[in-house]
Structure 1
Amino acid sequence: MLELTDTQISTWVASFILPLFRVLAVLMTMPVFGTSLLPQRIRLYFGVAITVVIVPALPPMPPVEALDLSALLLVGEQILIGALFGLSLQLFFQAFVIAGQIVAIQMGLAFASMVDPANGVNTTVISQFLTMLVTLLFLSMNGHLVVFEVLVESFTTLPVGSGLMVNHFWELAGRMGWVLGASLLLVLPVITSLLVINIAFGVMTRAAPQLNIFAIGFPLTLVIGMGLFWVGLADILSHYQSLASEALQWLRELARAR
């Protein structure tokens, strides 16, 4: 008759449950997989499948008691670490959303908003277009596989019980400036050109006050802005590659991975 001790059962449970919480936290917060487009049940199944695959390659987990306070602290630690990884990737995607908002405001298209099905909030049409474009680029260039690779390696570089990485939360807050700078870098030629056009319309208004500048300027700014945005899409791939490399490198630094 097979007899199992409490220590053996606790070790087996910890070897699966603790990695599962970190994996699920990443899936719940990262872009693409963490959106409302993917049902929570599918995310749960996907997280369980990933955990089952990676558990044999993970380092030994500390034994835990189901009703012990230390077990709850370890679970909370895994959730915080996973959420930190997911939120760091959200900043990368939000740079393109902010870029679309800036362009839409400059060309007078800010009123054309729609409900973002991924996040459930109103965004401009240009922001939604850039979000879909970046999502396709992220998946086609296997960015999600890089995230899963860093996640698996984090169990070695950041083993369970190593701490909550409080200093990294301050680094995450400091990356907000990087998001704004990246957004301006994406659309700087477009907003500069639109600024020159608006200044020209202002000069025309001063020179000919009887000219109805609103009837002429609004459609002209909209058409020129759309043309400039279309021309600027030719360089979107190079901007995406540089920003994605920087975002994934920062993710590796968070996980202290190679």
Structure 2
Amino acid sequence: MFSVTYAQLNGWLTAFLWPFVRMLALVSAAPVTGETAVPPQVKIGLAAFIALVVAPTLGAMPSVTAFSADGIWIVVTQVLIGAAMGFAMRVVFAAVEAAGDFIGLSMGIGFATFFDPNVGSTPVMGRFLNAVAMLAFLAFDGHLQVLVALAESFRLLPVSADLLHAPGWRTLALFGATVFQMGLLLALPVVAALVIANLALGILNRAAPQIGIFQVGFPVTMLVGLLLVQLMVPNMVPFFARLFDMGFDTMGRVASGWR
């Protein structure tokens, strides 16, 4: 008769549970899969499928009971590791949305917003650039590269009770500066051109006040901004590729604890 001991059951459970928790945390925090539009059942099913594929390739798990105090602490550490790696890629898309916000405010359409369940009200230009970045991410197989980085993290940081090393958290914190640095760099051509357009309109207003610059200025800045964004779209894809590479590199450095 087939029988299973408690030790065998605990070994099977821990071999699946701890990798599954790290994968679920990353899937819930990473772009595309972490969107609120993706049902929780899909996230759990995707993480379980990946765990079934990856778990047999991992080494021996810690010899502790899954539901003991040590086992629960390991679950907490795996959640933190997966969430930190997913957050590293989230920063990339936050930079893109920041660029859209800068452009939208310069164009004068900052009051035109969409409701984003992730961050609340978001200017329309930020949502547009985020959609372009999401399509580029899928075209570059970024979602597959995220899964590769996740599988590699088990080699760099095996399942144990150890938290991420301090340099890894520091790397993640410093990477947050990318939101402002890369976002401003992406928006700089359009913002600079719109500043020049506004200066020209200001000079025109002083030279000919009867034109009514307040009625003319808003359509002009919006038209100039839209034309510049249209010209900038072909050059966005290489820029997004650079951002994605930075995100993947940061995921690896966070998992390995490099500076």
Q: Same fold (TM over 0.5)?
A: yes
- Distance, in Å, in 2 between the alignment partners of 1:233 and 1:3 is 63
Q: Is the 8 A contact 1:11 1:62 kept in 2?
A: no
Secondary structure of the equivalent of 1:65?
coil
* Counterpart residue number, 1:62: 62
- Distance, in Å, in 1 between the alignment partners of 2:63 and 2:138 is 37
Deviations 1:124-179 (A, max 9, x none): 22111111111111112111111111111111210111621152223222222122
Secondary structure of the equivalent of 1:229?
helix
* Counterpart residue number, 2:195: 195
Q: Is the 8 A contact 2:89 2:244 kept in 1?
A: no
Q: Is the 8 A contact 1:59 1:156 kept in 2?
A: no
- Distance, in Å, in 2 between the alignment partners of 1:120 and 1:40 is 18
Q: Does residue 53 in structure 1 map to residue 14 in structure 2?
A: no
Q: Is the 8 A contact 2:201 2:213 kept in 1?
A: yes
Q: Is the 8 A contact 2:190 2:228 kept in 1?
A: yes
Give me the identity figure in percent. 34
Higher mean displacement: 222-231 or 194-203:
194-203
What's the CA shift for 1:228? 0.8
Q: Does residue 149 in structure 1 map to residue 148 in structure 2?
A: yes
Q: Does residue 108 in structure 1 map to residue 108 in structure 2?
A: yes
Gap runs ≥5 in structure 1 = none
Secondary structure of the equivalent of 1:32?
coil
Which amino acid in 1 is paired with 2:251?
L
Q: Is the 8 A contact 2:92 2:178 kept in 1?
A: no
* Counterpart residue number, 2:28: 28
Which amino acid in 1 is paired with 2:139?
S
- Distance, in Å, in 2 between the alignment partners of 1:213 and 1:124 is 25
What's the CA shift for 1:120? 6.2
Gap runs ≥5 in structure 2 = none
Secondary structure of the equivalent of 1:114?
strand
- Distance, in Å, in 1 between the alignment partners of 2:139 and 2:14 is 35
- Distance, in Å, in 2 between the alignment partners of 1:236 and 1:28 is 27
Q: Is the 8 A contact 1:10 1:63 kept in 2?
A: no
Which amino acid in 1 is paired with 2:135?
L
Normalised by the size of structure 2, how large is the TM-score?
0.93
Q: Does residue 182 in structure 1 map to residue 182 in structure 2?
A: yes
What's the CA shift for 1:2? 4.3
* Counterpart residue number, 2:135: 136
Which amino acid in 1 is paired with 2:40?
Q
Q: Is the 8 A contact 2:137 2:143 kept in 1?
A: yes
Q: Is the 8 A contact 2:171 2:253 kept in 1?
A: no
Which amino acid in 2 is paired with 1:102?
F
- Distance, in Å, in 1 between the alignment partners of 2:216 and 2:67 is 71
Which amino acid in 2 is paired with 1:44?
I
Q: Is the 8 A contact 1:150 1:255 kept in 2?
A: no
User: What's the Cα RMSD here?
Assistant: 1.7
Deviations 1:10-45 (A, max 9, x none): 221110000010000001111110111110011111
Higher mean displacement: 122-131 or 13-22:
122-131
